[in-house]
Amino acid sequence: MSTTQAPPAEGLVLDARIPDGPIETKWRRWLDAHQLVGPRNRPHYRIVVVGTGLAGASAAASLGAQGFKVDSFCFQDTPRRAHSIAAQGGINAAKDFANEGDAVKRLFYDTIKGGDFRSREANVWRLAEVSTSIIDQAVAQGVPFNREYGGQLATRSFGGVLVKRTFYSRGQTGQQLLLGAYSALQHQVAQGNVTVHNRHEVLDVVLVDGVARGVIARNLITGEIERHAADCVVLASGGYSNVFYLSTNAMGSNVTAAWKATRRGALFANPCYTQIHPTCIPQSGEYQSKLTLMSESLRNDGRIWVPRKPKDERKPNDIPEEERYYFLEERYPAFGNLAPRDIASRAAKVACDQGLGVGGTGRGVYLDFRDEIERQGRAAIEAKYLNLFQMYQRITGDDPFETPMMIYPAPHYTMGGLWVDYELQTTIPGLFAIGESNFSDHGANRLGASALMQALADGYFIAPHTVMHRLATTPKSDVDETHEAFAEAEDGVRGLLERFLATTGSKAPQTIHRELGEIMLDKCGMLRTEESLTTAIEQIRGIRARFWDELRVDGRADEFNPSLEYAGRLHDFIELAELMCEDALRREESCGGHFRGEHETEDGEARRDDERFATATAWEYPAEGLRPDGGFRPHDEPLTFSEVKLATRSYK
């Protein structure tokens, strides 16, 4: 019996378990054939859901509504504070309310192309297929989407598409959708089907005979270590952009739950696929600890430009039109300011590298609404973006109605994550990963407004069925918190916490994290090279080697101790950062957000290598632990394309 890690991956063949038949009918055929647990038997099953963002809250609510008993975990003081609340611009769905000819196939193709042909076709088609149901669900919950004058739901465009398929609630779409999911979750709490454990952090996944059977969690207020047994575990713990230290993610966002699963044997796929969002408020100082997103929706009406004269110190309103360089409009005339995020971010970096950047650091470009305010009127712009304009003014002191916003790319979203099959199950049986915590839908670059779509598709319409199928086809065995596997996992968690508290160094976790983030952003950010990645790996291994000598954590384990929480999360980020650079070094091509300087076209665009790298690479954590020189092992899942033709992306 193995309680510590899933069976070794020697000779592992990654089986995505994609159903047979035409892609248009795969999901329907799967639903028609999947097994069910009888309604009277469902209360006898317990499911752990980690995370209460859009994916986690919707999954917990849906599983509870089916009649299962659910334990829902979040480290925030309420599920409403999950980071999904920060999403601004909208959610995609192929409903074609704008009567432009949008369809499931068009959304599917845009997503595959936007991800630079590095995602699994069957999963992406299903995502596009169920997208229409998400909007109906949200409207039924009372989500206040913007509407046209006649009452029809309003839509707008986002980057990388030529249709208006993005539904929105001004600049607060994530918040409103999360409130809808939260209301469904709380209904199941009231029904007695869901128990929410807020202010709890999951610190390990418990395996019995190689199968996920529960978690170890720490009460962040009292410090108590708790055991929670389950028949299935669903991870919905979000992404890992905070590995860069400065990102648009909430300060508490972390990779710990997913990384503990990785240490237990779940493979981690495509970690180098990270997204740098083009429209964020630039960093203002060395000791800043957070960056702020400005919604991509602003690019519908804002024009991005820099002065044509290098190091131009004039105020933006004093620079005449002929001296403004609208670099996205000139380089990508078909899509203009709505080019995909990876392309728009690199274009901004190139402009700043040429000395055309603005602001005190030279790392900024203008996002200007002057023309559309004149054309549409101030009231029309306020109706779409007022809260975003107010937020920008509160942070910077500048009024976007009077002067252009200043923006610059920043780490935002991660397309990599735990490897999952078509049923969203990881390589550990009984362990599922949904939303941003898995790798499955976005390839090497996520299109704007597709994160909310994937989170709610997984949580409302996919995981409730695939988890049920897992339970129905697996003999039920009674495992509770007294099993030796829980004692072993708890001892491991306690031992690690005690080791953190026993450190005698002089550096706070935040100081080490800042050092790590600077390495990652500089050497594994928008531009990567063999030299930069090799150097980064050496530097990260140096941080890992010095970590226990340099770290200092005060306080006790049996109390509220944010420094202890931070140390644990940082410990996982350091290992992940090394893997990200290993993955980026191995992938000798440019695709989407992964841009290798050695692999670009003459005009500066990404050059893929489809013969060698039309794959998803899933990495195995070494069973014996990381050596000083690493030890992660890659496993490749070939990506096959039958519905789309591999081609060089063009948005010109």
pLDDT band of residue 603 (cuts 50, 70, 90) is confident
Provide the pLDDT for residue 179. 98
Residues 6+ apart with CB under 8 A from 367: 279, 294, 298, 299, 302, 303, 304, 404, 405, 406, 407
- Give the whole-angstrom CA distance, residue 449 versus residue 338: 13
Number of Cβ within a 10 Å radius of residue 213: 27
Please give the single-letter amino acid code of residue 314: R
Burial of 403 (0-12, 13-18, 19+ CB in 10 A): middle
Residue 4 near residue 264, CB atoms below 8 Å:
yes
Provide the pLDDT for residue 13. 84
Please determine, for residue 292, whether its predicted confidence score (pLDDT) is greater than 70: yes
Please determine, for residue 2, whether its predicted confidence score (pLDDT) is greater than 60: no
- Global pTM reads 0.96
Question: What mean pLDDT is reported for the chain?
Answer: 96
Nearest to 436 by CA among 613, 617, 260, 271: 271
Q: Is the dihedral of CA 479, 463, 27, 37 positive or negative?
A: positive
Residue 125 near residue 18, CB atoms below 8 Å:
no
Please determine, for residue 494, whether its predicted confidence score (pLDDT) is greater than 70: yes
pLDDT band of residue 5 (cuts 50, 70, 90) is low
In sequence order, which ranges of 298-340 are alpha helices (DSSP H)? 327-331
Provide the pLDDT for residue 1. 34
Residue 485 near residue 208, CB atoms below 8 Å:
yes
Residue 592 near residue 415, CB atoms below 8 Å:
yes
**Mean pLDDT across 259-266:** 98
**Mean pLDDT across 335-344:** 96
- Give the whole-angstrom CA distance, residue 408 versus residue 156: 23
Beta-bridged to residue 207, according to DSSP, are 212
Could you report the per-residue pLDDT of 342-386, keeping only the tens digit for each? 999 999 999 999 999 999 899 999 999 999 999 999 999 999 999
In this structure, the strands spanning 365-368 and 405-414 are: antiparallel
Residue the block writes with tokens 């009127």: 377
Residues 6+ apart with CB under 8 A from 249: 83, 238, 239, 241, 242, 411, 412
Q: Measuring CA to CA, how many Å separate 4 from each of 14, 203, 486?
A: 21, 14, 10
**Mean pLDDT across 186-191:** 98
Give percent above pLDDT 90 in the chain. Answer: 96
Q: In what order do the strands lie in the sheet with 365-368?
A: 274-280, 405-414, 365-368, 303-307, 324-325
Please determine, for residue 63, whether its predicted confidence score (pLDDT) is greater than 70: yes
Number of Cβ within a 10 Å radius of residue 645: 7
Tokens (6 digits) for 482: 């007294």
Provide the pLDDT for residue 284. 86
CA-atom Rg of the chain in angstroms: 24
Domains of the chain listed by start with CATH number: 277-412 (3.90.700.10), 484-609 (1.20.58.100)
Which residues participate in catalysis according to the annotation?
341
Tokens (6 digits) for 585: 């070094």
Nearest to 246 by CA among 274, 298, 287, 275: 287
